[in-house]
Amino acid sequence: MTGVVGVHVGQAGVGTGEAMWDLLRREHGIMDSGYIHQESTPNGAPNAHKVMFQGVAPEKYSQKAVFMDTDPRTMDNVVSGPQGRLLQRGAAVSGRESTNGLYTCAKRQSGPEMAPTVMENVRKLTEAENGSPEGFLFTHSMAGGTGSGLTADMMDRLKEEYPKSNQVQLAVFPEQELKSKDSLFGFYNAGLMLKDTLDDPRTVILVDNPGVFRVLNSRSLKPINGNFLRSANQLLAHVASALTACTRFDGTSPILLGDLEAFLVPTNNLRFSTAAINPISQGYHNWNGNRNGNDNGNRNGNGNGNRNGNGNGRGNGYGNGMQPDKMETRDVTTGCFDPCAQLNSAAAVKGEPVISSSLVYRGENDKNEINRSIHQAVNQYDVRFGEGSHKGFKVGLAETAPSLVPFQEHKKANTSAALFLNTTALAVPFSYLNEVLQAMLDRRTNLHYYLENGEEMNDFSQAKDSLDMIVNEYKQHRGSNCPPCPPCINNNQVEQRELPRNWSYSYGVEGDVFNCNDVSELRQYACKCYRCYGSPPCPTR
């Protein structure tokens, strides 16, 4: 049986990793001490835990995981927290110096410093696989200096030593909302990381904070101890669990990490997919049915009859829907296709062509029912496929039922689904990133921080070229049959002029810095139209 090693980098990646391993140990019946609780072991999968856990003593296991951050306090919290007893010695690695939020410092300074310790730990974790694991699962942020730079460095080193192992990223994309001067570093960091990692094929599941928080708010899920980030991390933990479900559990149609890459990544530039999962919590706003209430049950899940009181209907999950132990295949399938369930805010748009897609089911599901459910969801949400795209869904089946531990007590569900969509809607955040990066480079905003630490102007030019290639390939898959956006239908109602680029910036002691109170002009210039990001430009730009 092959193994999967988790690599969790930076503050965001470490937080997601902690929530992921807490969920995985519960799914496999492993207690905080590392010993297996026999009554909690999944039926029919006695050895499933060996994929992501390594035996250190009779009936005692530790995580196949490495946690990395340049802040020692983050690693101290991991070691002293609930995951500390499941970590192998030396698996939590911290650096000596802060990266100051810069990609360059993390990749050129912290990477070489921390790499020997990390690589030695990875070799110990992969001994059972004869030095060739199934793959590596990275969790990180693309905006943070450590999450971007250190991840890029480790991916290159692991690809060189384990060329046959697949690499999957669960990455958080930079927010468009600028909250501080450090937010501007995120655009540079994301662009430089893309430039350095596009050469090798790998699967990237792209989420963003607005999309994650929208899902949490729409389901009225209360934050854990007032902390929404912990709730967000546990939501992403379910995505990571779904990515490895078919590798860990038996099924009639498994999807391994290599299969995800083969189907979801048509080219190196189009490696990005968004994710949606259903259900995620016990009895809280599970996405089931549709907005018009055309199935069984009502909008609140408390009776029969639809919203208007005629016929049978089950709501769309905005109310307290069915309990997860009573959900059916069509409920979880339809819920995954709802735009409001997407964990990337750009993907919450109907009508954008799909390039490739995959569905991972867990629990008892009939193949014929799955086909009918997918057909119903495709018609209901008007799912279209782009030119030259896979006209279908790669379906994976894992027979073991999922666990739900996100917000309260541990509980089982009888079935679940996870949808991974590679869609042209993801061109919107990349187009925005390209626009902002160009504006910052024109004014050399905060550029001296990177140049002083060894980055060259040619690196930023290559980052811009990489973003141009990504956006252009998305435009090729959109084709010519996509309907225009509403502002473009009647051009007479829209003034044909371009908004002025009146960015406000000031000179300070540390150099040319944007005044973050006036960056609204920068955000306004980004194309607000989800379907028009080509030439000629949309009149709303």
- Taking residues 107-136, what's their average pLDDT? 88
Instruction: Choose between 43 and 247: higher pLDDT.
Output: 247
Per-residue pLDDT, averaged over 3-32, amounts to 91
**Predicted local confidence at residue 300, as pLDDT:** 38
Residues 305, 379: Cα–Cα separation, whole Å: 23
What is the three-class DSSP state of 418?
strand
Check pLDDT > 50 for residue 13.
yes
Nearest CA-CA partner of 183 in 145, 231, 232? 145
* 230 confidence band (pLDDT: 50, 70, 90): confident
> pLDDT averaged over the chain?
77
The pLDDT value recorded for residue 325 is: 59
Report which of 391, 385, 355 is spatially closest to residue 474, judged by C-alpha positions.
355
CATH 3.40.50.1440, applies to 4-261: yes
Q: Is the pLDDT of residue 504 over 60?
A: no
The answer to whether the peptide bond before residue 536 is cis (omega within 30 degrees of 0) is yes
Considering the entire predicted model, what is its pTM? 0.81
260 contacts 196 by C-beta, under 8 angstroms: no
pLDDT at residue 530 in the model: 30
Three-class secondary structure of residue 173 per DSSP: coil
Looking up tokens 């995580």 gives 63
Helix (H, G, I), strand (E, B) or coil at 274: strand
Does the structure show a pLDDT above 70 at 522? no
Mean pLDDT of 140-159: 94
Q: What is the pLDDT of residues 404-453, one digit of tens each?
A: 654 444 456 788 899 999 999 999 999 999 999 999 999 888 899 999 99
Compute how many other C-beta atoms are within 10 angstroms of the C-beta atom of residue 339: 15
Task: Name the residue ranges covered by the structural domains of the chain.
Answer: 4-261, 487-541
Read off the pLDDT band of 255 (50, 70, 90): confident
- Tokens for 224, please give them: 């854990």
Question: Quick check: helix, strand or coil at residue 223?
Answer: coil
Which pLDDT score, from 0 to 100, does residue 100 have?
86
Rounded mean pLDDT, 104-125: 92
Question: What integer pLDDT is reported at residue 225 of this predicted model?
Answer: 60
The residue that leads in pLDDT, 103 or 508, is 103
Query: In this predicted model, what pLDDT tens digit does every residue of 36-48 receive, in sequence order?
Result: 876 555 555 667 8
How far is Cα 64 from Cα 55, in angstroms, rounded to an integer? Answer: 10
Q: How many CA atoms lie within 13 A of 398 on its CB side?
A: 27
Query: Distances from the Cα of 141 to the Cαs of 15, 16, 146, 201, 455, in angstroms?
Result: 11, 10, 8, 19, 20
Among left, alpha and beta (phi > 0; psi -120 to 50; other), residue 76 is alpha
For residue 282, what pLDDT is reported? 42
Highest mean pLDDT among 1-5, 329-333, 411-415: 329-333
400 — phi, psi (to 5°)? -80, 135
Confidence tier at 326 by pLDDT (50, 70, 90):
low
- What's the pLDDT at 89? 84
Q: Is the pLDDT of residue 74 over 70?
A: yes
pLDDT at 135: 92
Question: Predicted confidence band at 312 (pLDDT cuts at 50, 70, 90)?
Answer: very low
